[in-house]
Structure 1
């Protein structure tokens, strides 16, 4: 969510003679542009891969998938990434080629704002996605985010991103750059002259860094809670699976809250179950019992009652309560739905990790430059090549999502194969 540090300052003293005899602005510009070759190649590769990949994402999820929150979120991220790859990255390439000859002030303002807005929108969308995943995994019986709510949440995320990014077109624009080569000066797309002696740019960058770390912290908390809940689900299922061989019978158990009759597996006699329940109520429920059968029966007696107290608000309650008598078909159906929820959660988690991971090299380089003022001036040409390459690492997230879908989403791979299969058939017929 930030731009590179002002890396071109005083390049004239390191790249060309400071006498200025016979040297033109174009020659100085070209000398500085050479140090940006690594960055230009890096950004260009990301741009091409991202454009092709996000085009496939938009085609598949817009026309080949059913409506869902998952689809809405992926389409929003895909549109943002596509705009960045088709508009934002080409602007950076132009800026790298003409670091001292960027005269289009209006274009500079618009595209600086666009890059900030796209990045901030992606970050806030990841917050919305994490909230939706948290509700699905940790509060499955509570109110879930509808498709309308998902669309409104995406709109709110973009509105917040707009409110945060509006200083960019004000702060950035026509910036005179002194080359330290005679009296030659260039023009950059950077902090406007009227704001160079103010601290507004510093405040803006501080706000962006605060938002990055704040968003990262919230996402870590949400996905930690999601991960812990998934582990608890696996532990409970393992307990149930290991206890299937125990002799059980099924009786009808009435819930006072719901009034429904639900088939629940119980011990061989109701009296025995009641005695075991009373015994466990006198003890610490969380203590480890030696008798696994008693513990299992206690779990089966208690959990359905707590769930049924919620009332008839969710179909999941009915499917869970009837799992013990519905046979393997019900178990397979529940497992399939559960696996789909976990798969989508995994995809969104990986997208989040890649998003913030792509900022790590960029932020490290910015911090180093801020802490060591002469860092860039003392770099060798090879060092400048490396700096000007990895400073653009945050663009990785704009091309990575289609690759993540390709590895993690079987449906996406299937639709891509189907799409190209039909295309090849059309070509053969022609």
Structure 2
């Protein structure tokens, strides 16, 4: 009799497991868009960030710019290697996920990485502001940035510490009576309470506060860059020499002349560009026919003009490099915040309207489950931003590509020679 009861119990459990698996597969089909989307971002992110770390560490000189880029790339790479694969597992088993510890750890890591990235972007904006708007003030050094990284870790842990408490395995009801599943979400103890909503409201407030601060900083930076570019353009325009039909008077930045000869005849001077009051001023009065007369007057106020001309060019070059770096970091910041907006919009809509998700059609659910992961775009996009806007990064990538292509070709030739 007991054996019959055991067989009936096992049979009921098998039927229940089969029903749960069937429901799980149906929900997985609704998540297929998210699986494809996250998988694509993960593959591109792992390859791109690994390559960016290698190039910047091996081919770029130590600088705050390199430190920022490498730090962001490491954060993005960790996100692509840990939270993203975990998300794929939860999408594959939407109501059959039973790893409570894994849910707590990876969810904490996801929040921690997001908060850390935000603080790093704030630090980058502050460094760019000091670099461009206050160039003669105290700058953020590499050593100072290391301390900021330590502070970032501490602040990230502090803000993310409620996550392991509130998140974990959560019981999920199905359309079949007495059939329940489990998912990685706010656990049963905190589900239905105000604490998860309060926690997310605080994070959303910090998110928009950071967005406002970054907007103000980059607005000031943009204004200063506009003035710098205007000044550089004005300087280039003043370097065009002016001529007159009867008299030609020029102020030179570099002059070449031969030693005086015995006949005391004046010679022609080689005059290149017009300079400012700090440069050498060489005035040569020439006749209509362009030949010098005995009344030519040459006035030299200072020397070493070629050196000053070179220094001016180097200064302009450094300014252009600074502007280009700022543009790259600004685009990274814009992509970061834009990638979170669809996610926040969908989550807010679902929070305000509890009947939104249950009433969605199959296509609507697929779209929702796809675009709710748009915030992972920022973890994939940065290496491609470098490829579009960082000319030095592009050059190094091309050189490495040629190097590895040559090595592969040489290896194939050697293998072909050994085989023959």
Supply the distance in 2 between the matched residues of 1:21 and 1:57 (Cα, whole angstroms). 49
Which one of the candidate residues 95, 109, 131 is aligned to 2:104?
A: 109
**Aligned 1:240-279 pairs, distance under 5 A:** 240-243=235-238, 265=277
Aligned-pair CA distance for 1:422: 2.0
- CA-CA distance at 1:239 after TM superposition: 4.1
Rounded to whole Å, the distance in 1 between the matches of 2:34 and 2:280 is: 72
Runs of 4+ aligned residues of structure 1 deviating over 6 Å after TM superposition are 20-23, 246-250, 266-269, 322-325
**Aligned residue number for residue 119 of structure 2:** 124
Query: Which residue is equivalent to 1:350?
Result: 331
2:83 aligned counterpart, secondary structure: helix
Alignment match, 2:42 = 47
Structure 1 position 266, deviation (Å): 7.1
Q: Larger radius of gyration, structure 1 or 2?
A: 2
Alignment-derived partner of residue 339 in structure 1: 320
State which of 371, 378, 383 in structure 2 corresponds to 1:397. Answer: 378
Change (3 A) 1:429 1:267: closer
In the alignment, structure 1 residue 235 sits paired with structure 2 residue 233: no
Could you tell me how far 1:381 is from its partner in structure 2? 0.5
Could you tell me how far apart the structure 1 residues matched to 2:150 and 2:35 are? Answer: 33
Does the alignment pair 1:156 with 2:168? no
- State how 1:162-177 maps to structure 2 within 5 Å: 162-177=157-172
2:57 paired with 1:62: yes
Matched, 1:203 2:184: no
Deviation larger for 237-246 or 410-419? 237-246
Residues 99-158 of structure 1 deviation map (CA, whole Å, 9 limit, x = unaligned): 111111111100000111111111110000001100110001111111101222222223
Is the CA contact 1:128–1:154 (under 8 Å) kept in the aligned structure 2? no
- Deviation by residue 1:340-396 (Cα, 9 ceiling, x = unmatched): 101110000000000001011111112222232211222111111111101110000
Distance, in Å, in 2 between the alignment partners of 1:21 and 1:153 is 53
Residue pair 2:232, 2:316 contacting (<8 A) in 1 also: no
The answer (yes or no) to whether the contact 1:248–1:267 under 8 Å persists in 2 is: no
Q: 1:370 and 2:343 equivalent?
A: no
For the 8 Å contact 2:60–2:66, the answer to whether it is kept is yes
Count residues in correspondence.
347
Segments of structure 2 that go 5 or more residues without pairing to the other structure are 1-14, 243-248, 253-274, 282-302, 412-420
Closer, same or farther: CA 193–156 of 1 in aligned 2, 3 Å:
same
**Do 1:72 and 1:151's aligned partners in 2 also have CA atoms closer than 8 Å?**
no
Deviation of the 1:230 alpha carbon: 0.9
State how far apart, in whole Å, the 2-side matches of 1:76 and 1:336 are: 26
Moved more, 187-196 or 390-399: 187-196
Partner Cα separation in structure 1 for residue 316 and residue 304 of structure 2: 11
**Mapped contact 2:279–2:305 kept (Cα < 8 A):** no
2:25 maps to which of 10, 17, 30: 30
Which whole-Å CA distance do the structure 2 matches of 1:333 and 1:267 have between them? 16
Structure with greater contact order relative to length (CA < 8 Å, sep ≥ 6): 1
- Contact (CA 8 Å) 1:323, 1:330: kept in 2 or not? no
Q: Distance in 2 between matches of 1:334 and 1:82?
A: 36
1:162 shift after superposition: 1.7
CA 1:331 to 1:368, structure 2 compared with 1: closer, same or farther past 3 Å? same
- 1:143 and 2:138 aligned: yes
Who is 1:213 aligned against? 208
Tell me, what secondary structure is at the counterpart of 1:24? helix
Does the CA contact (< 8 Å) of 1:124 and 1:158 recur in 2?
Answer: no
Change beyond 3 A, Cα 1:249–1:46? same
Listed one character per residue, the Cα deviations across residues 406-430 of structure 1 (whole Å, up to 9, x for unaligned) are: 1111111122222222222222332
Taking the aligned partners of 2:16 and 2:304, their CA distance within structure 1 comes to 87
Cα contact 1:43–1:93 (8 A) shared by 2: yes
Query: Residue 366 and residue 323 in structure 1: after superposition, are their counterparts in 2 closer, same or farther (change >3 A)?
Result: farther
Q: 1:132·1:145 contact (CA, 8 Å) conserved in 2? A: yes
